[in-house]
Structure 1
């Protein structure tokens, strides 16, 4: 199955190349979000609060790879009852599949953006996904003095391809959540693993 990304803005600008190395997601300053449509047109946004992962940037950058893990039980849409439903077997089935994963490879430099193909696993089912995004630049991570990189990413998936049925609670009811879901990423990455620092700030261990 091929999952098409959302259409990127068209531009002839060559995207900047990020520096090589192994970079770690900063969970305190990153957002892994999604947008679903309720009853076909009203957009509902959510995010996951616990995420970890690494990006291995090589020279050439086209050989780079990524591994990301997200704790499904940390889904947050701002409505506790809805979040409990999303954690149930009708959606993420967090009790049996506490983590969803993305393994990225096959990086391409395209007009004004980067693309990365990968394998996304949700609720035990793996399907190919293409992320489209931008490298926003490099600066200093103020808490350690090390370097920090910033990226955006987006993709569109059909949740039914992952077995995420989202069945309505009543027989014969209209489908509540649209099949297509947009993934939206705003990612801060640093040179070292900052999970211990994040756990100290949060006062708890991360779930992934």
Structure 2
């Protein structure tokens, strides 16, 4: 994956130094940005790091766009129905290279619907922190269609276009620590 190799073992996400964020076009002229406050992930690294796997869960109710009214609407049946679908899950199915890029494939489950997704993955390296823990950093990004996951609210605008775009950009910055 890089000149700095991941050591085999189980790595846990450090949520204090990680973020799962998204952005979506609003009214066709701007972007609304948000994040999830509660999530977890485990990375399993075998001898060959290209055979690694990751499983991540998001607490859908922890969505935060810094606007309580909008967040509550997104938790409702109009969008994510978090009372019925409290967790989103990503389970990787493989890693491959494409030119200079790493691509992480997996199955994403949102609102009870599972679809394959592919994330462009950057491996940022490994370091030992002042407490002796090995840390590894990653950045991943993708774009998904909300309607593919049953989030198909239609809010057309009078002049054309929609209030909320179907395309959602997802950005993840994750820092993991090796469990010893």
Q: What pairs up with 1:60-75 in 2 under 5 angstroms?
A: 60-75=48-63
Does the aligned pair in 1 maintain the 2:143–2:168 contact within 8 Å? yes
Matched, 1:121 2:109: yes
Q: What pairs up with 1:42-81 in 2 under 5 angstroms?
A: 42-81=30-69
Shift of 1:105: 1.9
> Normalized against structure 1, the TM-score is what?
0.78
1:166 to 122, 135, 153: 153
Question: CA–CA distance in 1 between the matches of 2:45 and 2:176?
Answer: 12
| Structure having the larger proportion of residues in strand | 2
Could you say which residue in structure 2 is the equivalent of 1:205?
Answer: none
Structure 2 residue runs without a partner (length 5+): none
Structure 1 residue runs without a partner (length 5+): 1-13, 194-208
Shift of 1:59: 2.7
- Say which SS state the counterpart of residue 93 (structure 2) adopts: strand
> Normalized against structure 2, the TM-score is what?
0.90
Question: CA–CA distance in 1 between the matches of 2:179 and 2:38?
Answer: 17
Matched, 1:103 2:91: yes
Question: CA–CA distance in 2 between the matches of 1:107 and 1:160?
Answer: 26
RMSD across aligned positions (CA): 2.1
Shift of 1:138: 1.1
Shift of 1:139: 1.4
Shift of 1:167: 3.7
Shift of 1:28: 1.0
- Say which SS state the counterpart of residue 161 (structure 1) adopts: helix
Q: What pairs up with 1:24-43 in 2 under 5 angstroms?
A: 24-43=12-31
Shift of 1:58: 2.0
Question: CA–CA distance in 2 between the matches of 1:147 and 1:29?
Answer: 14
